[in-house]
């Protein structure tokens, strides 16, 4: 059985050689997509072959194929967990947290004094291990999704706040003066100039927060949850050594996380097409 492993190693070498060749070609969209896919598929193949040829116990690491089978067979359970953790917990917390941080940043923006105080404090809070508030919030809001939403809200609040505040400071004085010469009202200056220049920062905040939201919702479930949810499933299935189910949940979480992030990037490209980091893309 050992030769599976060697075959996959040879395949890996071939794929790497092909990637090296691909990278010498003139850059194009196809290569940008094909090259990571090639690398990823070799990794999965290598993983599968290692499990088969060295007879690794599924208690330590299940093969990708068995994870896939488990994923297909337990779609209803996974869907229940997905609704509980992602839609109810993470999404509601994400919306509440980002929206309230955005509104507060807008309000604070009119008072230089508050802004100078909030920015360093917000920076400090954003660096803290806020996940640690999870046990407290679970105690306050109960075991169901409300407490998970609360943890996510607290986690995303500060990164979003500092990004929005910094973004709103981005417009130049000369641009604001120009708005004044146009006799623009404060509202017009905000919507037409300052929010526009703040967009790259706001999107940066939204992107950071999308990953934080998933982490927050899952970790909060470690401190108590009803008998559904991704974090709950992961801890209980680990306890039963059903690692294929754990990996199935992780696959779902990874896909969700990437889709969220990717979705925000797509919207960002539409809205901040003028920014240097977006220009020159095909």
Partner 1 sequence: MTRSFLPITTIAIFILFLWYCLSIVLNSSWAYDRAARNSQTLTFKELVHDTWSQKKPKLPAPHQVFSEMWETTFNKKVTSKRSLVYHTWITLSGTIAGFLFGTILGIVLALAIVHDRATDLSIMPWIITSQAIPILALAPMIIVVLGSMGFTGLLPKAVISMYLSFFPIVVGMVKGLRSPEILEIDQMKTWSATKTQILWYLRIPRSIPYLFTSLKLGIAASLVGAIVGELPSGAISGLGARMLAGSYYGQTIKIWSALFAAAILAATLVTLIGLIQKIISKRMMLQV
6 or 140: whose CB is closer to partner 1? 140
CB-CB contact of 148 with 90 (8 Å): yes
The yes or no reply on residue 91 touching partner 1 (CB under 8 A) is no
Among 219, 228, 271, 278, binds partner 1 (CB under 8 A): 219
Main-chain phi, psi angles of 192, to 5 degrees: -90, -30
Shortest distance in whole angstroms from residue 279 CB to partner 1? 18
To partner 1, the closest distance from the beta carbon of 271 in angstroms equals 21
Gap between the Cα atoms of 181 and 179, Å rounded: 5
Out of 4, 5, 11, 22, point to the residue binding partner 1 (CB under 8 A): 22
- Alpha carbons 219 and 210: distance in angstroms, whole number: 15
Per DSSP, the residues of 45-101 read HHHHHHHHHHT--TTT---HHHHHHHHHHTHHHHHHHHIIIIIIIIIHHHHHHHHHH
Q: How far apart, in whole angstroms, are the C-alpha atoms of residue 203 and residue 159?
A: 11
Binding mask 101-140 for partner 1 (x = CB under 8 A): ------------xxxxxx-xx--x--xxx-xxx-xx-xxx
DSSP notation for 5-27: HHHHHHHHHHHHHHHHHHHHSPP
Assigned token pair, 280: 């020159």
Q: Which stretch binds partner 1 (CB under 8 A): 45-53, 67-75, 188-196, 223-231?
A: 223-231
Size of residue set near partner 1 by CB under 8 A: 61
Contacts of partner 1 in 143-172 (CB under 8 A): none
68 binds partner 1 (CB under 8 A): no
User: How many residues does the structure list for the chain?
Assistant: 282
| Four-residue CA torsion sign, 76, 88, 268, 249 | negative
Structure tokens at 135: 């046990």
What is the rounded CA–CA span in Å between residue 51 and residue 49? 5
Site stretch for partner 1 (CB under 8 A), options 141-149, 168-176, 188-196, 242-250:
242-250
Q: Report, in Å, the least distance between residue 176 CB and partner 1.
A: 21
141 binds partner 1 (CB under 8 A): no
Q: If you write DSSP's letter for every residue of 148-208 in order, what string do you get?
A: HHHHHHHHHHHHHHHHHHHHHT-S-HHHHHHHHHTT--HHHIIIIIIHHHHHHHHHHHHHH
Sole binder of partner 1 in the list 69, 223, 228, 278 (CB under 8 A):
223
- Of 46-54, 173-181, 191-199, 208-216, the window that binds partner 1 (rule: CB under 8 A) is 208-216
Task: Rank residues 96 and 215 by Cβ distance to partner 1 and give the closer one.
Answer: 215
In the complex, the residues that contact partner 1 under the rule CB under 8 A are 16, 19-20, 22-24, 31-32, 35-36, 38-40, 59-61, 113-118, 120-121, 124, 127-129, 131-133, 135-136, 138-140, 210-211, 214-215, 218-219, 222-224, 230-231, 234-235, 238, 241, 243, 246, 249-250, 253-254, 257-258, 260-261
């Amino acid at each position: 059985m050992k030769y599976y492993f060697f075959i996959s190693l040879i395949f890996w070498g071939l794929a790497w050689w092909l990637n090296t060749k691909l990278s010498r070609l003139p850059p194009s969209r196809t290569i940008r997509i094909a090259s990571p896919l090639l690398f990823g598929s070799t990794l999965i193949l290598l993983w599968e072959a290692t499990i088969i040829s060295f007879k690794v116990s599924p208690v330590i690491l299940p093969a990708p194929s068995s994870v896939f089978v488990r994923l297909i067979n337990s779609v209803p359970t996974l869907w229940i967990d997905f609704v509980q953790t992602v839609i109810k917990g993470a999404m509601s917390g994400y919306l509440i947290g980002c929206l309230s941080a955005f509104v507060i940043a807008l309000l604070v923006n009119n008072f230089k004094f508050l802004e100078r105080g909030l920015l360093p404090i917000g920076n400090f809070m954003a660096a803290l291990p806020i996940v640690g508030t999870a046990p407290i919030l679970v105690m306050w809001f109960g075991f169901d999704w409300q407490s998970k939403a609360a943890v996510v809200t607290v986690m995303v609040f500060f990164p979003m706040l500092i990004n929005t505040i910094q973004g709103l400071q981005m417009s130049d004085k000369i641009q604001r003066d120009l708005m004044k010469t146009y006799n623009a009202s404060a509202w017009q200056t905000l919507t037409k100039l300052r929010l526009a220049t703040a967009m790259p920062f706001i999107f940066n905040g939204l992107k950071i927060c999308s990953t934080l939201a998933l982490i927050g919702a899952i970790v909060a479930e470690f401190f108590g949850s009803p008998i559904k949810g991704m974090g709950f499933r992961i801890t209980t299935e680990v306890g039963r050594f059903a690692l294929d189910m754990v990996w199935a949940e992780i696959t779902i979480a990874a896909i969700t996380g990437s889709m969220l992030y990717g979705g925000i990037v797509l919207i960002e490209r539409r809205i901040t097409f003028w920014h240097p980091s977006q220009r020159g893309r095909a």
